Structure 1
Amino acid sequence: MSEAPKTSTPIEIPIIGIKNFRSTCFANSVFQILCSQRALIKYLKVVEPTTETPYTFALKKMLKPLLESKTPGIIRESIDPPEEMRKIIIDLQTESGQRQMDAGEFYTTVINALHVESLKIQKPEETQEEDDDGWEEVGEKSKKISLRTEKSDGKSCVSEVFRGKTRMTTTTVDAKKKANKAVFQDFYIFSVPLQKGKDCCKTTNECYNLATSRRVEGNIVQTLSIEEFPKVLVLQFNRFIYDRVQLKVVKITDHVSFEETLSLKVGKKSVNYKLSVVVEHRGNNIGRGHYVAYVRRGPNWFFCNDEQIIKTDFTEVRNAMAYLLVYSN
């Protein structure tokens, strides 16, 4: 009797601390997100960056200890960001006018840069993308809906993993007055609103439902939905809002519960995700405070505070005041 073929289980990605050199905890938390995505790690191992792809070059050089490691677990020697990565971060800090950048903004900048640079590496025919401009679809009650897609710069091996697409549908009560339309837009982060005090959503699903709920203004109804779910979904809680009474930006500190799994549905579409990273912002000022990350490796969770890596459990993780939730499917 022949033995059943053995299925190989992928080795868990090692985990490594990163030195904070210039109020760069926001960057370190984002690097932990990137280090947790197997597809990106696989890409960095084989890609050959050049001077024309500075972000890819700097990231691959910085993550060399992790990329070359053959064993899972914590790597004892922490990463000291190389000069190329330091320059990228310092330039972005200078451009933003503050040392403590928003982690979500930094994430979007880095991922988009990796995407754009990967287009330079790929063959031209691999970067083509369909254009929906000028198309029509038939909506409810046979109403025609014009479709428009925001200009995109093509598909890459990076965008295939990290980029999704939203659909903003605008309909009218009286179709004779205004044509119905739908606008599609790419995203790397899906922002979910929060409200202060008793009106604040208590769960991630409630926040998502609020973000995608119908909004009525006069005879116009707008609905936001996710048209294409990314393989890596990053949810950002809008914790910083402008307070009209205090006349300044304040932080919403209400706790929003989340689980290790997330199921989202839009019409007949559904997708199941598993939580891989939680980024927490500690402090009340958007330009200050401190970012930390909780990272999953297999069944285990780790607390990442710059160079410090400590094994923890999900009981502690779920108590975090989440700012970014990173889900993979």
Structure 2
Amino acid sequence: MSARPTTPSSPKTVKVKEPVAGMPMFGCEHIEQLFGQGQETINTSIFHYKIILRKIFDQPPIVPQTSKLSNDQPVTTLTPNYLCLQCPTTLRPEDINKHGNVESRCGVLYCHMCDDLVYDPTLEELRLRKIGTGTFSTNRKRKHDELFSTDALKDDPRYIASNTTLASCRASGLRGIYNAGATCYQNVILQSFLHNPLLRNFYLSDGHQSSLCESPYCLSCAMDDVFQEFYGGDTTNGYTAANILSSFWISEKKAFANLVTTKEQDAHEFFQFLAEELHERNGDGKKPEHGSEHSCTCVIHQTFYGKLQSTTTCQQCYGVTHQVQSFLDLSLGVDNLRKSKKDKGAAGGAAKLTLQQCLDEEYIKSDKCEYRCHKCDTTRMARRHTSIKSLPNVLSIQLKRFEYKQGRHDKAVKVDTPVEFPLQLNMLPYTNRRAAGPGGAGSSSSGSSYELNRSCMYDLLSVVVHVGEIDTGHYVTYCRVGDQWFAFNDHRVELASNSEVLGAKAYLLFYIIRSLA
């Protein structure tokens, strides 16, 4: 016999809490107006408030933190959502002016007209009961079986594991950064640094001791403060990177002059400026010279710097010259390669542009050039090939999205060509050790080849994306925390999927060596 279908119970008649001397009867005048519409409105509002509290305190935290966009796509955020007091809707901050709202993380009432959290005695009493006893009943007496249960399940490790929450968000540094006026280019680089395990371990282990630093307006001290705020605080609210901004504003370096304006700036340039400044504060104080094999033991060099080897072969005497220089990042052309692929694809179908193709163009192929051969003692035609001699712990790659077009009207244009990039990247083919790899002329045992491949394997750590036009665009970044990706859009932090990350039009890519991932 089939069970009789049930219908939702109607909201019970609820009385508003009696006024107490010295305490307001309602949270604010707008709540008073809402409850003044009649007993039915009071019953419905409190009925929905109880449902909201059950969703917040009885279900996993991801439930109230998930809302839907206009296209019904679910979005999960670490910043507050707002649950409607009058209908079963979870709202994003931009939609809260249409509803009465409850903050999604603690269940406190928020009035959008007052633009503040408000204390309403009737609703607050329900919230405190739910937190304290897990129920809305005024009878706090617990059943003997509930308090003194010897249920064997509660000693089962699987039961404990399934009912134990993970570490709090603050332990992972999941926190947004407020935009202080066209500072999104700074925010994305700071987020990439904050979720870089080498930099995180350096600053959280007193690698830079701010208390002993005597440099005025030290940028490394400011970074130390940011790491402490992100990994030592108990909040996931947005952060204002005032110390970072002031360090650039006060700096007398000409390279930082553009960063004090409120105009859109280049995130890649900021990455280079920030790395250079942190090197000077934590390293030997010497500015890395272009084309030199500069080495340093500072955290920036140990994290980002590698070495390139340029090999030039004279086409007359076949004499070979090697030159080694340090690099902070690899800059890969996109526009010329796109045109080349398009021309070839006119007959046979154009292939998709991939990160590996961009790397092949720079570090597999060789170019013809004129070269002053010391052996021939004259200028000769030569072939030049560049490979990577030493890989960094964190590989930084720039895809050249901004090109300067010369002509009648010189202007900068954005290259919007999609470039596919992998979650795992093998850099062995682009090193000067590739001959010892599988299939190479100098390959040896399978065991040594495996170890060589393993030492060159990288995992994607963060992705910086520029959206919009070149002068009016915006930067966002994706960072991996453990196995989960998060999208950082200034102060907003949202869960992201692998497909969302891999579908982004990357501008900067940060890969970390697998042994450190």
TM-score by length of 2: 0.51
Which of 69, 79, 82 is matched with 2:239 structurally?
A: 79
Distance 2:322 2:260 in 1: 36
What code does the residue aligned with 1:48 have?
Q
Query: Does residue 163 of the first structure (1) align with residue 347 of the second (2)?
Result: no
Which of 356, 370, 384 is matched with 1:222 structurally?
A: 384
RMSD over aligned CA atoms reads: 2.7
Distance 2:501 2:467 in 1: 14
Distance 2:179 2:260 in 1: 19
Q: Please give the per-residue CA displacement for 1:28-62, whole angstroms capped at 9, x wherever unaligned.
A: 00011101111111111212032427111011112
* Mapped contact 2:175–2:236 kept (Cα < 8 A): yes
**In the superposition, relative to structure 1, how do residues 243 and 205 fare at CA in structure 2: closer, same or farther (>3 Å)?**
same
Helix, strand or coil: the match of 1:18? coil
* Mapped contact 2:466–2:476 kept (Cα < 8 A): yes
Q: How does 1:75-154 map to 2 (within 5 A)?
A: 75-82=235-242, 84-90=243-249, 94-95=257-258, 99-119=263-283, 150=292, 152=294, 154=296
> Per-residue deviation at 1:308?
0.6
TM-score by length of 1: 0.79
What code does the residue aligned with 2:191 have?
Q
Helix, strand or coil: the match of 2:335? coil
Higher share of residues assigned strand? 1
Helix, strand or coil: the match of 2:283? helix
Query: Does residue 205 of the first structure (1) align with residue 345 of the second (2)?
Result: no
Higher relative contact order (CA 8 A, sep 6+): 1
Q: Please give the per-residue CA displacement for 1:62-113, whole angstroms capped at 9, x wherever unaligned.
A: 232213158xxxx52211112x311234456534686322111111111222
> Per-residue deviation at 1:223?
1.1
* Mapped contact 1:189–1:236 kept (Cα < 8 A): yes
Distance 1:151 1:95 in 2: 29
> Per-residue deviation at 1:187?
1.3
What code does the residue aligned with 2:190 have?
F
Distance 1:112 1:17 in 2: 24
Distance 1:244 1:326 in 2: 31
Query: Does residue 241 of the first structure (1) align with residue 403 of the second (2)?
Result: yes
* Mapped contact 1:104–1:189 kept (Cα < 8 A): no
- Please say which structure displays the higher CA radius of gyration: 2
2:209 maps to what in 1? Answer: 48
Distance 2:275 2:268 in 1: 11
2:224 maps to what in 1? Answer: 60
Helix, strand or coil: the match of 1:174? coil
Query: Does residue 296 of the first structure (1) align with residue 477 of the second (2)?
Result: no
Distance 1:153 1:326 in 2: 21
Q: Please give the per-residue CA displacement for 1:6-48, whole angstroms capped at 9, x wherever unaligned.
A: xxxx997322100110211000000111011111111112120
Distance 2:228 2:327 in 1: 29
Q: Please give the per-residue CA displacement for 1:173-218, whole angstroms capped at 9, x wherever unaligned.
A: 1127xx5322211111111111254535611111111111211136
Distance 1:280 1:64 in 2: 26
* Mapped contact 1:193–1:238 kept (Cα < 8 A): yes
Query: Does residue 232 of the first structure (1) align with residue 417 of the second (2)?
Result: no
> Per-residue deviation at 1:158?
2.7
**In the superposition, relative to structure 1, how do residues 119 and 242 fare at CA in structure 2: closer, same or farther (>3 Å)?**
closer
1:15 maps to what in 2? Answer: 174
Distance 1:199 1:302 in 2: 35
**In the superposition, relative to structure 1, how do residues 183 and 96 fare at CA in structure 2: closer, same or farther (>3 Å)?**
farther
Distance 2:457 2:329 in 1: 17
**Gaps spanning 5+ residues in structure 2: where?**
1-166, 342-351, 371-380, 437-451
Distance 1:78 1:234 in 2: 26
What code does the residue aligned with 1:264 have?
M
Which of 181, 184, 190 is matched with 2:324 structurally?
A: 184
Higher share of residues assigned helix? 2
- Aligned length, in residue pairs: 287
* Mapped contact 2:307–2:391 kept (Cα < 8 A): yes
**In the superposition, relative to structure 1, how do residues 94 and 113 fare at CA in structure 2: closer, same or farther (>3 Å)?**
closer
1:7 maps to what in 2? Answer: none
Helix, strand or coil: the match of 1:165? strand
**In the superposition, relative to structure 1, how do residues 97 and 116 fare at CA in structure 2: closer, same or farther (>3 Å)?**
closer
1:272 maps to what in 2? Answer: 457
What code does the residue aligned with 2:340 have?
D
Helix, strand or coil: the match of 2:427? strand
* Mapped contact 1:118–1:157 kept (Cα < 8 A): yes
Helix, strand or coil: the match of 1:155? coil
Helix, strand or coil: the match of 1:59? helix
Query: Does residue 28 of the first structure (1) align with residue 202 of the second (2)?
Result: no
**In the superposition, relative to structure 1, how do residues 151 and 299 fare at CA in structure 2: closer, same or farther (>3 Å)?**
closer
Distance 2:172 2:239 in 1: 15
**In the superposition, relative to structure 1, how do residues 301 and 256 fare at CA in structure 2: closer, same or farther (>3 Å)?**
same
Q: How does 1:305-316 map to 2 (within 5 A)?
A: 305-316=489-500
What code does the residue aligned with 1:282 have?
V
Greater Cα offset, 10-19 or 34-43: 10-19
Helix, strand or coil: the match of 1:274? strand
* Mapped contact 1:161–1:231 kept (Cα < 8 A): yes
Distance 2:196 2:333 in 1: 26
Work out the percentage of aligned pairs sharing the same amino acid. 23
> Per-residue deviation at 1:290?
0.8
**In the superposition, relative to structure 1, how do residues 87 and 109 fare at CA in structure 2: closer, same or farther (>3 Å)?**
same
* Mapped contact 2:397–2:509 kept (Cα < 8 A): yes
Query: Does residue 327 of the first structure (1) align with residue 467 of the second (2)?
Result: no
**In the superposition, relative to structure 1, how do residues 66 and 97 fare at CA in structure 2: closer, same or farther (>3 Å)?**
closer
